[in-house]
Amino acid sequence: MPIPQYPQIDPFLDYLKFEKRFSQHTLISYQNDLEQFLQFMVSQFDAPPLESITALMVRSWLAEMKEEGVSSKTINRKISSLRSFFKYQLKTGALAQTPMTTIVAPKVSKRLPMFVEQTDMDQLFRYLPFSDDWQGRTERLVILLFYSTGMRLSELIQLKESQIDVASCQVKVVGKGNKERIIPVSAELMGQLKAYIQDKPERKEGVNQLFITNKGMPLQPRSVYAFVKEKLARVTTIQKKSPHILRHSFATHLMNNGADLNAVKELLGHSSLAATQIYTHNTIEQLKEVFKKAHPKA
């Protein structure tokens, strides 16, 4: 909810929306984090002006969250939101210094990304039955495209026919911050995409997405999540079964088969190599297994 004492939130959110081109989901996260922090400033410190907010005040908010059992990962995200907010105030000249300089983010234990084994993905496409109707055809092609490209759920749902380059066997993806990247696909998959486009039922006016329902409407994130989870549950026992797990599987299988880390970074649309490096851990674990089985002194 709006905080009258701090009108600086709205210009900052406009900056993220119109200049940084952040998604609606990301904007809501920033807004919630900032409003939560500034409400704390109102209740605990009688709404000090931005220039009077100190690192000690910020730490008291972080300490309260820790006492409430908020995870280190969530606290880190909130710290990141504050850093961006105060950095913007410096940029616009509203502040001369930021209270975030001495704030240290809590350490987060790195969890290896879950992924579906390559043999299980093979089983899914070879033996798992999909219905013969438009829905079954859409579901199978969506899962195949997730696994073949590593796209995010939002990227796939918004994918348009114009982004499919049949002649070059590649797909143009619009990712976070409206950044475009090109992902190559196999001739076989491109053939399936081409056939899908040719056979599409009549679309509702204004709908130009690649994937649609049999009623001509765009797919909804919730329904995609549901059918991906249902299909993966038939071939794997891993705890998480979501479109993002297919993205992890795409990257992990590329790395395990010798792909260059920088190439995987570009395919995933990561802005920094650090985000891609989590997939090297799985490669190392695989190498350890090979060593154990193959080396006489292991």
Q: Where among 76, 92, 108 does a domain terminate?
A: 92
Q: Dig out the tokens for 44 from the structure.
A: 């605990």
CA distance 32 to 51: 21
CB burial of residue 213 (10 Å; 0-12, 13-18, 19+): middle
Alpha carbon 228 to its chain centroid, in Å, reads 16
Answer positive or negative: Cα dihedral of 276, 14, 36, 84.
positive
Q: Is 15 a catalytic residue?
A: no
Tell whether 159 and 21 lie within a shared domain: no
Question: Residue 91 and residue 15: Cα distance in Å, rounded?
Answer: 12
Q: Looking at 50, 76, 92, which one is the last position of a domain?
A: 92
Co-location of 124 and 270 in the same domain: yes
In a domain, 214, yes or no: yes
Left, alpha or beta for 217 (phi > 0: left; psi -120 to 50: alpha)?
beta
* 178 is a domain residue: no
Q: Give tens-digit pLDDT for 7-19.
A: 999 999 999 999 9
Q: Are 211 and 138 in contact (CB under 8 A)?
A: yes
Enumerate residues 6+ apart whose C-beta is below 8 A from 96: 51, 90
Pairwise pLDDT comparison (178 vs 248), residue with the higher score: 248
Q: Let me know: does 238 contact 114? Beta carbons within 8 Å.
A: yes
The reply to whether 153 and 71 lie within a common domain is no
The catalytic residue among 59, 203, 270, 281 is 270
pLDDT, position 109: 64
Identify the bridge partners of residue 61 per DSSP, sorted by sequence position. none
Instruction: Indicate if 221 and 129 belong to the same structural domain.
Output: yes
Residue 110 pLDDT class (50, 70, 90 cuts): low
pLDDT at 189: 96
Per the annotation, the verdict on 147 as an active-site residue is no
Indicate if 65 and 211 belong to the same structural domain. Answer: no
81 and 33 share a domain?
yes
Residue 110 lies in a domain: no
Q: What is the reported pLDDT for 1?
A: 64
CATH code for the domain in which residue 44 is found: 1.10.150
CB contact set of 111 (below 8 Å; sequence gap of 6+): none
- b/e sequence 187-208, b meaning 16+ C-beta within 10 Å: eebbebbeebeeebeeeeeeee
Query: Is there a domain that residue 191 lies in?
Result: no
CA distance 44 to 38: 10
Asked if the structure places residue 130 within a domain, the reply is yes
Order across the sheet with 164-165: list the strands. Answer: 164-165, 170-174, 180-184
Which tokens sit at 49? 């002006």
Catalytic residue selected from 140, 247, 248, 253: 247
Q: Average pLDDT of the chain?
A: 91
When divided into structural domains, the chain yields a total of 2
284, pLDDT greater than 80? no
Percent of the chain past pLDDT 90, that is, above it, reads 75
The verdict on residue 86 lying in a domain is yes
Identify whether the C-beta of residue 154 lies closer than 8 Å to the C-beta of residue 221.
Answer: yes
Which candidate in 152, 241, 248, 265 is catalytic? 152
- Same domain as 288, residue 212: yes
> CA 37, CA 149: separation in Å to the nearest integer?
38
Q: Are 130 and 136 in contact (CB under 8 A)?
A: yes
Q: Do 125 and 254 belong together in one domain?
A: yes
pTM more than 0.85:
no
pLDDT reading at 105 higher than 90: no
80 shares its domain with 127: no
* Tens of pLDDT, residues 23-45: 888 999 999 999 999 999 999 99
Is 152 a catalytic site residue? yes
Q: Is the pLDDT of residue 50 over 80?
A: yes
- SS3 of residue 160 by DSSP: strand
Q: Are 284 and 208 in the same domain?
A: yes
Residue 283 confidence class, pLDDT cut points 50, 70, 90: low
**Among candidate residues 37, 58, 92, the one where a domain is terminated:** 92
Rounded to whole angstroms, the Cα distance separating 184 from 169 reads 6
Domain that holds residue 271: 118-163+201-294
Share of the chain above pLDDT 70, in %: 95
Say if residues 47 and 200 touch (Cβ distance below 8 Å).
no
What is the separation, in whole angstroms, between the first and last Cα of the chain? Answer: 60
| Annotated catalytic residue within 59, 77, 176, 240 | 176
Q: Specify if 188 maps to a domain.
A: no
Q: With contact defined as beta carbons under 8 Å apart, do 9 and 3 qualify?
A: yes
Do 74 and 123 lie in one domain? The reply is no
For residues 185-195, give the mean pLDDT: 96
Q: What is the CATH number of the domain that holds 266?
A: 1.10.443.10
Are 61 and 159 part of one and the same domain? no
Query: CA 53 to CA 187: how far, in whole Å?
Result: 58
Q: At what angle do helices 24-45 and 55-67 cross, to 10 degrees?
A: 100
Q: Which are the contacts of 1, defined by CB distance < 8 A and separation ≥ 6?
A: 35
Give yes or no: 270 in active site: yes
pLDDT band of 282, cuts 50, 70, 90 = low
pLDDT digits (tens, 9 = 90+) for 148-179: 999 999 999 999 999 999 999 999 999 888 88
